[in-house]
Amino acid sequence: MDPSTSKTIAEQICKNKSDELSQVLTLHKGEKHIIALQNFPDPDAISSAFAHKLICLKYDIDVDIVYDGKVSHQQNIALIKLLDIELIRYSENLDLTQYHGSAFIDNQGTTTSLVKKLEQAGVKPLIVVDHHERQNVIQNPEFTDIRKIGATATIYTNYIKDGLLELSKSDRDHVKCATALMHGIRSETSELIRAKEEDLMAAAFLSNYHDPGLLGEIVNQSRSKKVMDIIHKALENRVIKDNFSISGIGYLRAEDRDAIPQAADFLATEENVHTAIVYGIIVTDKNEELLSGSFRTSKLTIDPDEFIKDTFGKNEIGKYFGGGRQEAGGFEIPIGFLSGSSGKEYDALKWQVYDLQVKQKLFNKIGITEKGKD
């Protein structure tokens, strides 16, 4: 097929999706919706949710952006504070029955614990927009737009380009939205190094409206000492086999969870390493525990989504413990009834068991014997 023809078809598909989303929002004019973000929102999710909220204002739809976890990455905190983006951290005091419908943006229900809560509250899933592999967790939403593309922020930029929101440099919210989306695209495509044509075209469009000064402030946040300590620990604990760098870093507070992907990014830069996997046990405010990990690869023949799903499988209701997109992925496995501390000795034994189990599953997946020898 001629490249120009292929491009025209892709543009028409995007336009059709924009029109379809507009029709769905029109049907729900005047309602109140909830955007369910992943438990640990990243720039792509935050910026796309902000764009969705501004688009909904045109349809007289009031929107709350909600997450059930922590925002801890220094750039994410700066993004929210500098651009004054309102996110609501879920608590039992939040009445979910006030919402007429839900939107899952930059996730499909696999990385948020809000799915069951919304189901129990009778909140219907209306919209799913994501760029990860299809997960089939959210059943029968009215609108779905899942594309293999660099960032969900690129999808929302295309919605804006198609007229769902007419940006103006004189509107401060529009400038903040363009700045956020630009950061979302940059962060999700390794500073545009892995960006495809659609991502670059979206970034070019946003460059007419974003605030470079604000973007610079967001991007140039220093790593905290705690994050540096965790990266150092990942380096110390790493095991390198067949160009895989695997590192378990023990227990982490929920507010330090974003150090895990940063550590994986760092380990992936080591010479002769094409894939890095970093994981640890996150202790939540409710004294619950999750085995949380990040996956990074530069090897084209490795599909992170397939790798993670094959390695860690599903829970008792058929929901995968993780998934991914091109070059990156993540997983979260509840510790269950073993959650909670009974002293340092117990914690050390528990970590030893989980660390060995994760390594064994990873070694089996990449074809290494139990003792880690080829």
Give per-residue pLDDT as tens, 136-195.
889 899 999 999 899 999 999 999 999 999 999 999 999 999 999 999 999 999 888 889
Q: Is the pLDDT of residue 72 over 60?
A: yes
Which among 15-19, 60-64, 311-315 has the top mean pLDDT? 60-64
Mean pLDDT of 43-55: 97
Give per-residue pLDDT as tens, 345-371.
888 999 999 999 999 999 999 988 654
Predicted TM-score (pTM) of the model is 0.73
Domains and CATH numbers, the chain: 3-219 (3.90.1640.10), 225-366 (3.10.310.30)
Q: Cα(205)–Cα(182) distance, rounded to whole angstroms?
A: 10
